[in-house]
Chains A and B, each alone.
Chain A
Amino acid sequence: MHDMTAMAARRESRLAALWRVVWNVIGRSHPKPLRESDRPFAWGPLALILLIESILLFVVAYAQGLGRIGDPGAARLFWPSVFALILPGAFWATRPTLDRRERLLALLLVGEALYALKIVYAPLGFPFFDEFLHWRTSLDILELRKLFVANPMLPVSPLYPGLELTVDAVAKMTGLNLFATAMLLVALWRALSVTALFLAFERVAGSARTAAFAVAIFMSNSGFVSFHGQYAYETLAFVFFLFICMLVLRLESDQAGDARRDTALALFIAPALAVTHHLTSYMTAGVAGLAALAYLLRPAPRRALAPALLVALAAFLLPIAWAKLISAPTADYIGSTVVGAMNDLGRLLSGEGKGRRLFVSSDGVAAPILLQVAGAASVLAIAVGLTFGFFRTLTFRPPRMAVGASRFRPWRSSGAAALGLLGAAFPITVLFRLTGAGWEIGNRLNPFLSVGAAFVSAVAITHFFQARRRGLVSQTLAGLVLAVCIFGGMVNGWGVAALRGPYRVEADSQSIEPAGIEAARWTREALGENNRFVADRVNNILLLTYGRQHLLSTLYGDPSTALLLYNPTFGPEERNAVKTGAVDYLLVDLRLSSDLPKLGHYFEPGDLDQYGAPPKHRNLLKFDSVAGVDRILDASPLVVFDLHGLRNPVAVSSTAIARGRPPLAQSGASGVATREGAP
């Protein structure tokens, strides 16, 4: 009996010892406050970082030029330059002792340099699919001078015109063109995002260095470089989100008067956010609600609770009220995507479904191994940061917060706790990214949850990994890890497509070239605006913007039209599709038959799976011999057919075909045509 008691006591003491070790590793906060800012502000290092970044940007531009002509050396020049572009700013911003403004400016240089990558990628026009959708809405506001004009390819865009209004104001008042205005404003929004995030983290952590680490880690989210560098409504909405988060998270350390003013500011911004982007508004409500929960569970001080709840309610109810007011179809728009993603995730977790192949694009091309390693390392680093930082964040006490912990106060800083809980949800984004249908949801959630994950990881670095080791080697290592994280985040978000390549079929920015743009412009000049067109994915966005046409899309209730281009003959089914869809014109891109689509489909999602191969050249051109169809533009490899005759047969005759005269042989695109003898 005595032996058993002794054994139990020994086991208990071993368990207690093990727990102490584990707790020391994952949970105990560094007791001493961080040393801050004993070095005066200096412009020199910042100027040097700017120079290094500019030189590397020039190298990146040169590499992009090589990429455009398909030079294999482009990748060897591009990727190391991008990595080197990130390193100096990330290293400098996170040094142990530095003026906080110098840290912020170094971070701004990194943030803007990463945005400059996009400018160098596409200096003359918008390159991304979503940008074209919002560009159309902007064009409508700019030219028609009114809001809520229907956008056939993204019906919700005109219903949330916050982004377009800011651009419209600046473009109209200054006379700058829309593209230049958008580029300048997105650069401004990037600066505001970095600044708002820095201020939020600094206030919660009470340390500019922790804030600098957190902002640098945040830059490793998959949306930072490309998605939030786009001219799209979430880019502006995310700025509002971050600023409201900053205001809410600091409520507990505000004086009473300051808390009221901060609440007033958040409530002033909330309606602008609600009319800019619905989902971001809901995410704002979520974070404010999380903060309110943290304030509620911590008995003192309570003054932050009501304002946080108020902001959460406003951020939640305003977009609902706005959607009701304008009858926005957001539930349909978001609902189907979320349901699909959840189903896919369920199948993946139950082992029934196959996951998405990571680092492999839709056309089956895998990223180089080093890029794959960087991408995986980026996510792994956040996972390590979450492991070592989560409990430290919950037990974290900012230097200025004097109130000690007690058993009735589960955490010392509610702001830190809210960020910790937000960060704990970060793995969800990784899980979604493993699924086919949920990949986009994971990608979209990633920047929001990265706000929490970045803070937790920064706490892990400053309160564990670098709590005592602050020498040059340790600093350099930290800078390198941050650069790998940011670089890997860019790989995870933008992928190998960040480097230009020669023309590819259905590859969005890689498929946009002058012949397509000019054909779309011609449609506007020759045919007028808002004709009902059928075209493939890339020509759709060109027709939408340069052509100002109305594109048919199965996403928004139009009949499927892929059969028009896939099927070898033009029969009753095809004729019915033309009539049901009231199709006016068909733009045929003969290049489609030459390759698989890089982004997985030609005309509508699922068409490649349905038909199994690219549409055949002869099937694309079958309209040459269909009675009632006119071939009105030949801009080979692009051809426009006029289908009005199919819908209104009285106006046409099929005599040429009926009398057996073969249609004129193929044009120059196929290289088989010959000159016919002139009478």
Chain B
Amino acid sequence: MNRMTAGWLLALWTAGGYGVIALSAPTVIAALWICPVVLYAPGRLILSDLRIERDPVETLAGSVILSLCVTIYCGFVLNILDSLTQSGWLLAEALAMLGLLLIGPGHDVRLGVAAGGARLPRPTAPVLFVGLAAFVMFGAAILLAASDAERERPFPVLQMWLLQDRAANAVEVGVRNGEATEAAFDLELRGEGRMIASYRDMHVAAGATVKKIVQVTPERSDAERIEAVLLKPGEPRIMRHAHVTISRRLENTADSDRRD
């Protein structure tokens, strides 16, 4: 291929790459546009510049390995320029390829791998069918493994936290239900010998978080231990509990709800 043509193709690829980034194209399209070029072309250009034309298998493997090296070197340059970004990478790869096109000797550039040897025969229809069946089976294996992994929950994911915000004289109590079904709880916020706030039969959807921000001051001393307790409605057993020690500086009470 003429080097000028290769240059135009490179410009087209770079523009397409920016289009992919600007339009936030689907990952599959972005991967198909970017990967074959970034993981092959720089290395292939190096081989072409060095006039190394060998067996196709070696050319292919060598091109990919050299492209990985080019990517690593580009990464260091981008780090120096503080540009390890999406567009930074695209520009760096494009400039590296442009450089390889420009510094090479005058001969045409080769981008293919077929440098002699018998061509591979075309697969027949039954072979394609068997190959397709294999890929379907492979996909099914991955899906099965993923679904088993997703379902594996040896311990319940139920979090309750209690954090204090000293500046706002408030505490935040939160509950996250990481299970697959909605759950109901009673939530109590207790001071020393007093109930600060109580939320009965609080429903938390699957995967949802409920946060309560409560303003509170120590009543009888400079500091007070505040406890949050999560209970199953109608049952005495405490499911979760947390505590913080707050110090005086606080003004009492108004509370707000937040659901994420």
Contact = CB atoms under 8 A, between A and B. Distances in A.
A652 B243 contact: no
B65 A515 contact: no
Contacts of A526: 161, 163, 174
A170 B38 contact: yes
B131 interface: yes
A77 to B, nearest CB: 13
Interface in A514-533: 514-515, 518-519, 522, 526
B23 to A, nearest CB: 11
Contacts of A631: 162, 241-244
Nearest to A503: B154
A371 interface: no
B241 A188 contact: no
A656 interface: yes
B138 A54 contact: yes
Interface string B167-188: 0000000101010000000001
B245 A54 contact: no
A261 B47 CA distance: 9
A54 B142 contact: no
Given A41-B121, A522-B176, A265 B52 contact: yes
A68 interface: yes
A199 interface: yes
B148 A47 contact: no
B124 interface: yes
A678 B242 contact: no
Contact of B72 (A123, A165, A627, A679): A165
A176 B153 contact: no
B84 A141 contact: yes
B192 interface: yes
Contact of A60 (B38, B126, B141, B238): B141
Contacts of A146: 79, 82, 84
A664 B130 contact: no
Contacts of A591: 155
B245 A169 contact: no
A444 B194 CA distance: 61
Main DSSP-derived SS at the B contact region:
mixed
Contact of A678 (B55, B79, B198): B198
B123 A47 contact: yes
Interface stretch (A357-365, A404-412, A568-576, A633-641): A633-641
A676 B121 contact: no
Interface string A143-169: 001110000000000000110011011
Nearest to B90: A173
Interface in A108-147: 116, 119-124, 141, 145-147
A65 B144 contact: yes
A502 interface: yes
B34 A633 contact: no
Given A58-B141, A165-B75, A633-B161, A196 B65 contact: yes
A64 B148 contact: yes
A169 B176 contact: no
Contacts of B159: 518-519, 522, 633-635
Interface stretch (A11-19, A20-28, A235-243, A540-548): A235-243
A57 interface: yes
Nearest to A172: B86
Given A146-B82, A269-B69, A123 B142 contact: yes
Contacts of B93: 169, 173
Contact of A632 (B161, B224, B235): B161
Contacts of A41: 118, 120-121
A271 B70 CA distance: 11
B240 interface: yes
A661 interface: yes
Given A54-B137, A188-B39, A514 B157 contact: yes
8 residue pairs, one from A and one from B, having the closest CB atoms: A653-B223, A656-B225, A165-B75, A54-B137, A65-B148, A675-B236, A272-B69, A673-B238
17 contacts: A54-B135, A68-B148, A123-B145, A173-B34, A240-B65, A265-B46, A275-B72, A514-B155, A633-B161, A634-B242, A656-B223, A665-B238, A667-B238, A668-B238, A674-B236, A675-B229, A678-B190
Interface of A: 40-44, 47-48, 50-51, 53-55, 57-58, 60-62, 64-65, 68, 101, 104, 116, 119-124, 141, 145-147, 161-162, 165-166, 168-170, 172-176, 188, 192, 195-196, 199, 236, 239-240, 243, 258, 261, 264-265, 268-269, 271-272, 275-276, 502-503, 513-515, 518-519, 522, 526, 591, 624, 627-628, 630-637, 640, 642, 645, 651-657, 659, 661, 663-668, 671, 673-676, 678-679
Interface of B: 17, 21, 24-25, 27, 30-31, 34-35, 38-39, 46, 50-52, 55, 57-58, 60-62, 64-66, 68-69, 71-76, 79, 82-86, 89-90, 93, 118, 120-121, 123-124, 126-128, 130-131, 133-138, 140-142, 144-146, 148-150, 152-164, 166, 174, 176, 178, 188, 190, 192-195, 198, 221-225, 227, 229-231, 235-245, 247
Given A58-B144, A168-B89, A656-B225, 9 more contacts: A42-B121, A54-B134, A120-B141, A165-B76, A168-B84, A192-B64, A261-B51, A655-B222, A673-B241
